[in-house]
Amino acid sequence: MIEPSKLFQLESGQKRRKLALTYGALERDINGIAEKGTEYSFTEMPRSEYIKKITLILLKDPKLTDEAKKELSSLLEQTPINELKVCNCARNHLLSIIGTFPAEWDLIIAPHNQNTQIDGTIKQREFYKGITVYAEDIRSPFNIGSIFRTAEAMGAENVLISPFCIDPTQPRAIRSGMGCIETLSWERKPLSELPKDIPIFALETGGENIETFKFPKEGICIIGSEELGVSPEALKCATYGRVSIPMKGLKASLNVGVAFGILMQKWVEYINK
């Protein structure tokens, strides 16, 4: 994070990019998921004061719309300020000016109270035993991060990835994973090493309607790549069956992360019947 006084020395474009990165780092720090070495560390001022200072600098940006300035000024007038909301609002306005938009869904939900200690650390992660997702050849760091985030949120025990799947520790994957890649156990495995003694099914077109599909209490769900879907080899491994999401649109196409989110919700509902 940069000292507020040094921001004035940067040219406009560089200043905006630096501020956007700083607000992103602050959001992660506020949520307790900052990577080592990126935590807020200015001992001479509280974090809330730092956020105010850099936001006052942002308010002088000539490309910031009047509506954006009004929104940010209103947030700064609150006592105490909502640090997370100020950072999220400021970052999104900056990304709009820069011409880039967030690579993840900005929904932040606090950890369950019963699993959180006073200092904010998680006592123990709860999950559905035996619920596993196998991500086959996912290429997008955003998508793999999103898959991990959904898997963790919905209670999957772990994630398996194929040999040609993008590395989940790639920075953009970590960013969209919102700390879940570090929390959820995962392993890289070829299809040939998937266990033969548990149900394996695939999320793919041409299968049984997800509304009537009888999900296993424990098992592995295979989800395929963005471009090609589940491979023929993976479909052969899915001896338990194939499940599909009915769609009415002309394109009848869903992002793999969105489709997986729908699948996990239905799987959990079935388990809890």
So what's the pLDDT on residue 100? 57
So what's the pLDDT on residue 109? 41
Using only C-alpha atoms, the chain has a radius of gyration, in whole angstroms, of 22
So what's the pLDDT on residue 252? 67
192 secondary structure, DSSP code: G
So what's the pLDDT on residue 111? 43
So what's the pLDDT on residue 96? 81
So what's the pLDDT on residue 119? 42
Query: Averaged in consecutive runs of 10 residues, what is the pLDDT profile of the chain (273 residues)?
Result: 82 87 89 81 92 94 93 94 93 81 43 43 72 94 92 94 91 83 89 94 94 96 89 95 89 84 96 92
So what's the pLDDT on residue 30? 92
**H or E stretch covering 152:** helix 141-154
So what's the pLDDT on residue 171? 84
Among candidate residues 130, 135, 151, 140, the one with its CA nearest the CA of residue 203: 135
Angle 75-78-80 from CA coordinates, rounded to 5°: 115
